[in-house]
């Protein structure tokens, strides 16, 4: 009798913490993969923003090209791990909504994704510098996509999150979106701070003529769009990448599924 009572009490005590938790913190709502994704996002943010913060010192120590290569060798594997884990766990957690059967959803997601890549990889970047073929430099841009928004990568990431959250509708996707957007909001502050440190008053003047919110500076007359600035090879490359990614998307999902993470 004592043994049965003890066992029953122990089982009740072990079950009590889960029973007392709010429903959104129960294992079904927030499984371990969500925490892993939070950790991966935090690690990527530390690597990416940390190396960006150390750029001036790093370039002085080993040179601009070598530091660009170091940056890529650290950031790209971290991004690859994130991508694989995201694909493999995108339906984890609770299905908050499911509207994939609606005819308008898939084309909307693809349009949003294409737009997001045009912001994420704008023509303001010198592709030869990205590849470290030309000497990488920090530029104070005020043309092209920067007339639309001073932080196109952040806006592109938010657009990507909206599209994929619409398609997937899972708690895992929401956690991923919150982490990505939080990182890019930090990157907005961090990027402005670094440009101010490097360019001083010149950056403040450029900042006054641009906006974070898309098209705000255009609408209030601080900027005028110059469509000729968008006719650059980088945009052709980004467009080709979007088409290629759309074509390869099913194969990429199958490939990542073969990695048991």
Task: Give domain status of residue 227, yes or no.
Answer: yes
Task: Give domain status of residue 216, yes or no.
Answer: yes
CA distances from 226 to 17, 71, 144, 145, 208 (A): 60, 32, 7, 10, 18
Q: Note the helical H segments in the chain.
A: 2-20, 32-53, 55-62, 64-89, 105-120, 127-130, 152-168, 171-199, 201-209, 216-219, 233-257
Task: Give domain status of residue 57, yes or no.
Answer: yes
Domain holding 110, by residue range, is 31-257
Task: Give domain status of residue 186, yes or no.
Answer: yes
pLDDT of residue 167: 96
Percent of the chain residues past pLDDT 90, beyond the cut: 61
Which residues in the chain come in under a pLDDT of 70?
1-29, 122-132
Domain count, the chain: 1
Task: Give domain status of residue 12, yes or no.
Answer: no
pLDDT of residue 8: 39
pLDDT of residue 27: 52
Task: Give domain status of residue 221, yes or no.
Answer: yes
Task: Give domain status of residue 26, yes or no.
Answer: no
Task: Give domain status of residue 217, yes or no.
Answer: yes
Q: Which long-range contacts (CB under 8 A, 24 or more apart) does 251-259 make?
A: 252/87, 253/87, 256/83, 256/84, 256/87, 256/88, 257/87, 257/88, 259/84, 259/88
pLDDT of residue 260: 80
């Amino acid at each position: 009798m004592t043994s049965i009572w003890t066992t029953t009490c122990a089982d009740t005590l072990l079950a009590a913490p889960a029973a007392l938790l709010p429903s959104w913190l129960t294992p079904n709502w927030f499984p371990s993969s969500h925490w892993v994704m939070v950790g991966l996002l935090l690690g990527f943010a530390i690597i990416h923003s940390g190396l960006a913060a150390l750029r001036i010192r790093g370039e002085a120590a080993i040179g601009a090209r070598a530091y660009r290569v170091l940056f890529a060798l650290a950031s790209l594997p971290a991004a690859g791990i994130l991508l694989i884990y995201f694909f493999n766990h995108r339906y984890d957690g609770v299905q908050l909504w499911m509207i994939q059967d609606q005819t308008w959803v898939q084309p909307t997601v693809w349009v949003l994704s294409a737009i997001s890549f045009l912001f994420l990889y704008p023509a303001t970047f010198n592709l030869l510098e990205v590849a470290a073929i030309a000497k990488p430099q920090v530029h104070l841009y005020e043309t092209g996509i920067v007339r639309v928004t001073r932080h196109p990568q952040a806006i592109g990431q938010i657009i990507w999150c909206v599209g994929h959250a619409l398609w997937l509708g899972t708690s895992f996707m929401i956690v991923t979106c919150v982490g990505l957007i939080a990182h890019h909001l930090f990157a907005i502050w961090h990027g402005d701070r670094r440009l101010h440190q490097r360019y001083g008053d010149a950056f403040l003047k450029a900042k006054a003529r641009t906006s974070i919110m898309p098209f705000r500076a255009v609408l209030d007359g601080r900027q005028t769009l110059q469509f000729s600035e968008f006719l650059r090879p980088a945009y052709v490359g980004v467009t080709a990448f979007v088409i290629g990614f759309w074509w390869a998307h099913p194969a990429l999902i199958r490939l990542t599924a073969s990695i048991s993470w």
